[in-house]
Amino acid sequence: MKKIVFLTGAGMSAESGISTFRDSGGLWERYPVMQVASHTGWLEDPDLVTRFYNERRRELFGTQPCGGHRLVAELEEKYDVTVVTQNVDDLHERAGSSRVIHLHGELRKVCSSDDVENPKYWQVLGPDNYEVKPGTKAGDGSLLRPYIVFFEEAVPMIAPAAEEVGKADVFVIIGTSLNVYPAAGLINYVQSGVPIYLIDPKEVRVPYGLNVTHIQAGATEGMKQLINTI
């Protein structure tokens, strides 16, 4: 069975109404990035960071997967599909994708601030309990923090993601500027001769020398075109 690996970014979930960070009018224009999304920001004002991600979860639970998410999931009927996502939402999973690697963490999870990767202290939040009260403690007594990979922190899932990309028969990028590292570097793990498709309505600068087919459309329309191509 042919293996398709997707790399998805903010443009994938924008069609669902999830606020983007870097685009005009995005979250970084309303919030200082290093205050709410960095390790230093967390240490300096954990209450602010906690409230910020409470807002993000509230937004998430008011949205649904877009057509693009659903079309990616439907490909599992014919292909071996892995989704590598820079997004922290769970829209791929809700659409039906069964193999999703989250590079930047998961918005629905909170964890120990002293032992982030210990599942013993993970909690999965839902629509009825998405709000974390500032100062809430994890099971080990440390502050409960978002299970998000902050700026200044390592990306623990980058190695498994690179391994999956290296096995791809087709590599598809949707809704990411290829400016955020280390995720943007995953394109360099695609084997020689493997077709690469980029779905994005805007012009995206791709690394020099790579043969990339640009489908200049949004996630849903781009996926429709892709399905007729592969």
Strand intervals (E) in the chain: 3-8, 80-85, 100-102, 105-112, 123-124, 144-148, 170-174, 196-199, 212-215
Domains of the chain: 1-17+65-104+154-230 (3.40.50.1220), 19-62+107-148 (3.30.1600.10)
Percent pLDDT > 70 in the chain is 94
Is residue 143's pLDDT more than 90?
A: yes
Q: Rounded mean pLDDT of 49-66?
A: 95
| Whether the predicted pLDDT of 26 surpasses 60 | no
Give the pLDDT score at 142.
98
pLDDT of 155 above 90? yes
Which residues are marked as active site? 104
Mean pLDDT of the chain: 92
